[in-house]
Structure 1
Amino acid sequence: MHQTSWQLRPVEASDYERWRELFAGYAEFYGLDQTPEQVDTVWSWLLDPAHEIEGMLVAGPDGRPVGLMHFRRFSRPTSATVGGYLDDLFVDPQTRGAGAGDALLAGLKSVAAERGWSVVRWITADDNYRARGKYDQHATRTTWITYDMPV
């Protein structure tokens, strides 16, 4: 059942508690341990208009956020263009299947179009089958493999 009245908006200072709950759900899903200091750092980035990371929330008609996404622009030297990178996307498990994820992805696509980005890119875990099914509806899976180099 898709809800038709999703509200998508940037995070605001008054969203901290709900954003923190959603971000904790995201971290738990991926098995990430985050300290309160790390969470507060990310929050400070989201509220800083000079920082590259932006955050948006999706809410239903009651205004309560049920999902979040964090994204940023990135330069693409091989095409001499700028793209968008979706770092995090999470929808409250109790709301999944109602269209909140679609609303977030559609909202990001609109942001990308407004800003002239050439692509929106993201990664997900290989075993994140439910999200991959959703992503397959909005984007094309690539053959690129991701590496992390410890520093």
Structure 2
Amino acid sequence: MKIRSVEHYDLNQLTDLMYQYIVDFYKRPKPPIEKIHNLIETLLEKHSGIQFVAEQDGKLIGFATLYFSFSTTKADKVTIMNDLFIVENARGTGVAHELFKRCETYTKENRYAYMSWVTATDNYRAQKFYEKMGGSLENWLNYSI
């Protein structure tokens, strides 16, 4: 298994993974393919964020997305791990650990103040994983409009 940055040739496989994540896992409406491709292309530029993939035998089995932002309270740049998804048959094999560590390493190597992330309140498996990775629950509530 190999962890690496997304490349242009990953477009089709990554699109399929992202649909599994959005539609199958999170039960959200399927975004138009043009929007998925635009997001992937934007992240390939590595200005607003970056994606990493886990590849095994030429097949993508997971991905993680870091978005770049800022923290006013730290007066510094930060990364936000918005996505960490592993195909079902590869869960529990260490793939999530490796993708998470790659995101954490990228954050540190590029001198971001910290990496943060969110997960669904009912995603207990992810919560247990993040606690195992050293994450701690913050005192902030997330809102959206």
**TM-score (structure 1 length as normaliser):** 0.88
The equivalent position to 2:27 in structure 1, one of 31, 46, 57, is 31
The separation in 2 between residues aligned to 1:14 and 1:21, in whole angstroms, is 13
Deviation at 1:47, TM superposition (A): 2.4
The equivalent position to 2:127 in structure 1, one of 114, 132, 136, is 132
SS at match of 2:48: coil
Judge which range, 64-73 or 90-99, deviates more. Answer: 64-73
Structure 1 contact 59–65 (Cα < 8 Å) conserved: yes
- Give structure 1 regions of 4+ aligned residues with deviation exceeding 3 angstroms: none
**TM-score (structure 2 length as normaliser):** 0.91
| Higher RCO (CA 8 Å, separation ≥ 6 residues) | 1
- Show structure 1 runs of 5+ residues with no match: 1-5
The separation in 2 between residues aligned to 1:22 and 1:103, in whole angstroms, is 17
The equivalent position to 1:121 in structure 2, one of 116, 123, 129, is 116
The equivalent position to 1:98 in structure 2, one of 93, 96, 117, is 93
Structure 1 contact 68–89 (Cα < 8 Å) conserved: yes
The equivalent position to 1:47 in structure 2, one of 36, 44, 51, is 44
The separation in 2 between residues aligned to 1:84 and 1:40, in whole angstroms, is 22
SS at match of 1:87: strand
The separation in 2 between residues aligned to 1:113 and 1:10, in whole angstroms, is 16
The separation in 2 between residues aligned to 1:125 and 1:83, in whole angstroms, is 21
Structure 1 contact 13–47 (Cα < 8 Å) conserved: yes
SS at match of 1:94: helix
- Show structure 2 runs of 5+ residues with no match: none
Structure 2 contact 11–37 (Cα < 8 Å) conserved: no
- The percent of aligned pairs where both chains have the same amino acid is 25
The separation in 2 between residues aligned to 1:16 and 1:9, in whole angstroms, is 14
Number of aligned residue pairs: 142
Structure 1 contact 56–69 (Cα < 8 Å) conserved: yes
Q: RMSD in angstroms over aligned alpha carbons?
A: 1.3
The separation in 2 between residues aligned to 1:92 and 1:137, in whole angstroms, is 20
1:66-105 equivalences under 5 Å are 66-105=61-100
Q: Deviations over 1:24-80 (max 9, x none)?
A: 11102112211122212212212224x4021110123x2422100111221111111
